[in-house]
Amino acid sequence: MTALRIDKWLWAARFFKTRALAAKACDLGRIESNGVTAKASRDVRVGDALRIKNEGGEFIVEVLGLTELRGPAAAAQALFQETELSKETRLRLAAERKMMMEIAGGRETKPSKRDRRDIDRLRRR
């Protein structure tokens, strides 16, 4: 196999839970192949550089293998290699989000009935 649809590859490489979500990401312009916005039907080949934006962050990867079958995570990780810059950026952004949550101070319990009334009263104004 020399080429494969990009939505199938993204699904098999476990970037998206379903092929439909992978195709939708392509339609929304969140996938770039070699610097060009990719449609779901675009072929991906070994050696291609992909920029993938999903809820996990932004990945910049090089395609190492092709498969139509979605296998275990270990097999999926063998299909691509993420660049060092991409890894560092994602880890830095994750650390910043974690720090913001600590600074903002999340609520430790659910709002009480009284708190909920206060929240409702504030939202109506």
The whole-number pLDDT of residue 66 equals: 95
What is the number of domains present in the chain? 1
CATH assignment at residue 70: 3.10.290.10
Distance CA 79, CA 76 (A): 5
Distance CA 50, CA 7 (A): 12
The whole-number pLDDT of residue 107 equals: 65
Cβ atoms of 68 and 6 closer than 8 Å: no
The whole-number pLDDT of residue 57 equals: 87
The whole-number pLDDT of residue 125 equals: 64
Cβ atoms of 19 and 7 closer than 8 Å: yes
Cβ atoms of 88 and 71 closer than 8 Å: no
- 60 falls within a domain: yes
- 54 falls within a domain: yes
- 122 falls within a domain: no
Per-position pLDDT tens, the chain of length 125: 899 999 999 999 999 999 999 999 999 999 999 999 999 999 999 999 999 999 888 999 999 999 999 999 999 999 999 999 999 999 999 898 888 877 776 667 888 999 899 999 999 86
Host domain of residue 10:
4-105
- 112 falls within a domain: no
- 125 falls within a domain: no
The alpha carbons of the chain give a radius of gyration, in whole angstroms, of 20
